[in-house]
Amino acid sequence: MGNIIDIIGRKFLLFDGAMGTMLQQRGLKPGDNPEIFNIEKPDIILDIHKSYIDAGADIITTNTFGANELKLKDSRYSVEEIIKRGIDIGRKAAKDKFIALDIGPTGQILKPIGTLEFEKAYEVFKRQIIVGNSMGVDLILIETMSDLYEMKAAILAAKENSNLPIFATMTFQDNKRTLMGTDPKTMVFVLEALGVDALGINCSLGPNEFHPIIDEILKYASIPVIARPNAGLPIYKDGNTIYNITPEEFSKEIVNMANRGVSIFGGCCGTNPNYIKAVSHKLQYMKPLNILPKDYTTVCSATNTIFIDGSIQVVGERINPTGKETLKNALINEDMNYVLREAIEQQKLGADILDINAGIPEIDESLIMEKMIKEIQGILDVPLQIDSSNPETIEKAVRIYNGKPIINSVTGDMATMESIFPIAKKYGANVIGLTMDEKGLPSNCEERVKICKKILDVAESYGIEKNNIIIDCLTLTASVNQSQVFETLNAIKQIKELYGVKTLLGVSNISFGLPNRKLLNRTFLTMALTYGLDIPILDPKDEEMMDSIRAFRVLSNSDKKAKKYISFYKSQPKEKSELKLDSLDEKDI
């Protein structure tokens, strides 16, 4: 059938159905590893695979779901033995159809909730993938994941130890979140950022419950979408688990999903060759819809997606030790509680994203950066911006970050782009492009626009789309460069008009050396927002700045009906000067 990459999205692809369900009917005892059958009862496995091929499946999933060293630690067979035999059997059944190396969860829970280290999970998956890759499967199917972090470990293992296509599906609960809290759109943005070839959901729910989740996935996905539902919901009857949907009902719902854009199907728990046959039968005269590429700019933690969509997202700037003695000492003493408090407070005050910087000479920057990220992502759902001038620190940070971060930053200098863009591409991070280069800070709008163009072009050559580049037009100090204030603002406007790219700006530099800095800061902030600034970087403890943002969101029609504004301010005590004026007005009216 050739390379599956050439086919996905153009023709429907049909996975097989359940393996475990079938094996229980053939003597698998509860608590046993189904993968042992690959060695001890290979004919049963071959038989099941063949029955799915006969039913019309295009892809056989190897019987290797749980074949990892953690689940097999008490087994008499090695991971390698089991996977090799699994692939052998799969290939024998599939003949010229595709076979997918099936990889399920490790079975253990990652830190900080569990005890499994991210890099240990990576090693577990790596061992599975090395075997699969050496045996020549057609793709790697990472499935039934509840934890996006574990999924990331598996994807990285797949990418770093093979060139195989990666299909990735997670399993969702009724509340449209995975057990670990990831929502469909966050899954879409993070998995696409990590470079998988198809994504979707499997298990836990039947096709009827899949619909709302699939709809959300289809709204945001730019790559082919997979749906492998159970045969409905489980019913416990006479000590057995049976499922409530017939092959006919199942296949009708699959057609429904096909009509909305899903192009890769299969069955999970409770399904059998009859289900696959019904689906195959129904899909044979249909063609998949095109998945149109989307160009959202998003920043994600594992459970939260921030859209950069003109509604103003605030980056909190407080976790940066430059000039902050207390934070500096906290980092030196590895006092992560202090860091966490700063993070929690900033989010509470309205930060949508947090900048994280550990750039002081007294500490091991990479180590402390990793520590901070792990602490914060373990507690808060606010996405992070990795801020370092050290590419090694950046790579370590984005590797262990559980989401789609922003990297702060590259400049128009080729050296910074050459060191950072490969990292951003591999780990799927957004990158801030500062409109400066080896010649320093530009003095006018035109030079900024030129550097922006260069950054976008170089990014493209690394396969990074412009929706993942965020441009910083750089605020100069008004007391020194008063005539250039509008150069920055005009650059924001022009860059957005010319390239449709999102913009970010730190504003407080504007007021350096002048009295009443807060007034200048909030005024400049409003000016920049008016000219199209998407992401201000600021101190969320600066109430005037946050006030300005809340007001701007009303005036730019993003806080619809001023609901958030009203709920924030309706109970605020009036300021002194306001009281004075108001009492006058009331008297006057």
Catalog residues that contact a copy of itself under the rule CB under 8 A: 323-327, 478-479, 482-483, 485-486, 489, 510, 514-516, 518-520, 523-524, 526-527, 529-531, 539, 541-544, 547-548, 550-552, 554-557, 560-562, 565-566, 569-570, 572, 575, 577-578, 581, 585, 587-589
In whole angstroms, give the CA distance from residue 49 to residue 278.
17
**337 vs 572 by CB, closer to a copy of itself:** 572
CB of 409 to a copy of itself, least distance (A): 23
β-strand partners of 232: none
Among 67, 121, 166, 203, binds Zn ion (CB under 5 A): 203
CB of 588 to a copy of itself, least distance (A): 4
CB of 346 to a copy of itself, least distance (A): 14
| Residue 121 interacting with Zn ion (CB under 5 A) | no
Sheet holding 225-228, edge to edge: 13-14, 264-265, 225-228, 198-202, 166-170, 139-145, 98-103, 59-61
Amino acid at 320: N
Residue 327 binds what, of a copy of itself, Zn ion, none (CB under 5 to 8 Å, by partner type)? a copy of itself
β-strand partners of 59: 15, 98
End-to-end CA distance of the chain: 82
CB of 569 to a copy of itself, least distance (A): 4
**270 vs 540 by CB, closer to Zn ion:** 270
Question: What is the phi/psi pair of residue 31, to 5°?
Answer: 95, -20
- How many residues of this chain interact with Zn ion, rule: CB under 5 A? 3
CB of 496 to a copy of itself, least distance (A): 14
Residues contacting residue 195 through CB under 8 Å, at least 6 positions apart: 155, 159, 166, 426, 428
Q: Which two tokens stand for residue 444?
A: 């006018």
Tally of CA atoms within 13 A in the half-sphere of 527 that contains its CB: 18
Residue 252 binds what, of Zn ion, a copy of itself, none (CB under 5 to 8 Å, by partner type)? none
**33 vs 556 by CB, closer to a copy of itself:** 556
β-strand partners of 139: 100
Amino acid at 307: F
Q: Report helix, strand and coil shares of the chain as percent, to nearest 5.
A: 45, 15, 35
CB of 570 to a copy of itself, least distance (A): 5
**284 vs 326 by CB, closer to a copy of itself:** 326
**22 vs 291 by CB, closer to Zn ion:** 22
Return the range that interacts with Zn ion (CB under 5 A); candidates 72-80, 200-208, 355-363, 433-441.
Answer: 200-208
Q: Residue 7, Cα to own-chain centre: how many angstroms?
A: 25
Residue 541 binds what, of a copy of itself, Zn ion, none (CB under 5 to 8 Å, by partner type)? a copy of itself
CB of 272 to a copy of itself, least distance (A): 54
Cβ–Cβ under 8 Å, residues 186 and 119:
no
Site residues for Zn ion, window 255-274 (CB under 5 A)? Answer: 268-269
**381 vs 539 by CB, closer to a copy of itself:** 539
Residue span 146-185 as binding mask against Zn ion, x where in contact by CB under 5 A, dash where not: ----------------------------------------
The residue among 546, 467, 525, 539 whose CA lies nearest residue 500 is 467
β-strand partners of 306: 299
β-strand partners of 567: none
**461 vs 479 by CB, closer to a copy of itself:** 479
Tokens 């000039």 belong to residue? 323
| Strands 353-357 and 384-387, sheet pairing | parallel
Q: Which chain residues interact with Zn ion by CB under 5 A?
A: 203, 268-269
